[in-house]
Amino acid sequence: ATPTSIMVGTGRAAELGVLFRQGEALQSLKEVGVVALDKTGTLTQGRPDLTDFVTAPGVSEAEALRLVAAVEGRSEHPIAQAIVTAAEKRGLSLPSTDSFEAVPGFGVSAIVEGRKVDVGADRFMTKLGLPIAEFADTAVRLGAEGKSPLYAAIDGRLAAIIAVADPIKPSTPEAIAALHALGLKVAMITGDNRRTAEAIARRIGIDEVAAEVLPEGKVNVVKRLRASHGKIAFVGDGINDAPALAEADIGIAIGTGTDIAIESADVVLMSGDVRGVVNAIALSKATIRNID
C-alpha cells in the first residue's frame, strides 16, 4: 500500500471510531486468521451484578455479605463493585478492614472485626486448603447459567458461594457473526470459571475458549492460537491484557479500557463496541485492494 492509501484508510477508520496508532496495522490486519478477545469488559459490559448468595448451614446471609463486602470494598475488581453495591442495597454498613491482600487471578483476603475473610475463585479456596465440594452442585448450576461462581471463607471455614453475572454487550453476537463471515476463527480468553466461560461462548458463537487463564497466562494463549491459526489479533481492555496486546500481531484496545491497555495496542476502538474490530479488518482489506 502507498503512504497515501494508508492515510486515506486511517482517515476513514477514524470516522468509524477506529484509531490506528500504528499505520502498519492497517496493512497487516487483512492477514489475520484468528481474533481472540478478552471476555470481561470486552465481550461483556464489565459491570457484573450479584445474582446469588448461598450460605453454608448455620451461616447468616446478612452477616456473611457484610464481611465479604467489607473486604471487596478494598478491591478494584468489577466483581468487588457488584458485591459492595449488593450490600449497600441491603442497607448493610461496612466495617473497616486490616491486612487487605489481593492475589491477582485468585481473589482477595483481609481481617474484618478480628476475623479472617477470603473471597475468590474455586482455585483460591484450593490454594488456601479449603474444600468446596459441598457447593459442587450449586457451582455447576450457576456456571451453566453463565454466572461466575465465587466462594467466601470466614475464619478458614467455607461460608458461602456467591454468583455474579456480567451482561453481554448487545453488539457482541453480531460482531462475532461478522468476523465469521470474513472467514476468521474467533476465540475468547478469560480468567473466569470454565463452565461459565463455555456457557457464554455458546450463547455468542465463540469457536474456541481458553478459561481459568491466570493474568500472566494470556500471552501463552496468544502464542498457542497463533501456532494453530496464523496471524492473531487480540482485543482487550484491562491491565491484565497489556502483555497479550503487545504479544499479538495486532493488539486492539477498547477505548473505554485502561490506559495501559491502550498504550500497548496498535489499534484503539473509540467506543466499547466490538463491531469496531470488524470495521478495522474490512477497511484493511479494502485499502489494500484499492492499491494492488
Active-site residue list: 38
Pairing of strands 250-254, 232-236: parallel
| Interacting span for ligand ADP (CB under 6 A) from 58-66, 117-125, 132-140, 245-253 | 117-125
Residue nearest to Mg ion (CB): 41
Cβ 97 to Mg ion shortest distance, Å: 25
Count of residues near ligand ADP by CB under 6 A = 22
CA distance 89 to 127: 32
Cβ 277 to ligand ADP shortest distance, Å: 19
Instruction: Say how many residues make up the chain.
Output: 292
CA distance 42 to 30: 21
CA distance 214 to 285: 34
Q: How many CB atoms lie within 10 A of CB 177?
A: 13
Count of residues near Mg ion by CB under 5 A = 5
- Of 238, 243, 255, 276, the one binding Mg ion (CB under 5 A) is 238
Residue 49 corresponds to which amino acid?
D
> Pick from ligand ADP, Mg ion, none: which does 148 bind, CB < 5 to 8 A by kind?
ligand ADP
- Of 25, 29, 67, 79, the one binding ligand ADP (CB under 6 A) is 79
CA distance 236 to 188: 10
- Of 10, 42, 148, 287, the one binding ligand ADP (CB under 6 A) is 148
- Of 23, 33, 95, 215, the one binding ligand ADP (CB under 6 A) is 215
Site string for ligand ADP, 38-67 (x = CB under 6 A): -xx---------------------------
Which residue, 27 or 51, is less far from ligand ADP as judged by CB?
51
Residue with cell 470488524: 278
Residue 213 phi, psi dihedral angles, 5° rounding? -85, 125
Q: Are 113 and 123 within 8 A, CB to CB?
A: no
Residues 262, 268, 274: CA angle, nearest 5 degrees: 115
Which residue, 40 or 148, is less far from Mg ion as judged by CB?
40
> Pick from Mg ion, ligand ADP, none: which does 191 bind, CB < 5 to 8 A by kind?
ligand ADP
Cβ 108 to ligand ADP shortest distance, Å: 4
Burial of 130 (0-12, 13-18, 19+ CB in 10 A): middle
Cβ 119 to ligand ADP shortest distance, Å: 5
- Coil, helix or strand for 168? strand
Query: Where do contacts with ligand ADP occur on this chain (CB under 6 A)?
Result: 39-40, 72, 75, 77, 79-80, 104-108, 119-121, 148, 150, 190-192, 215, 240
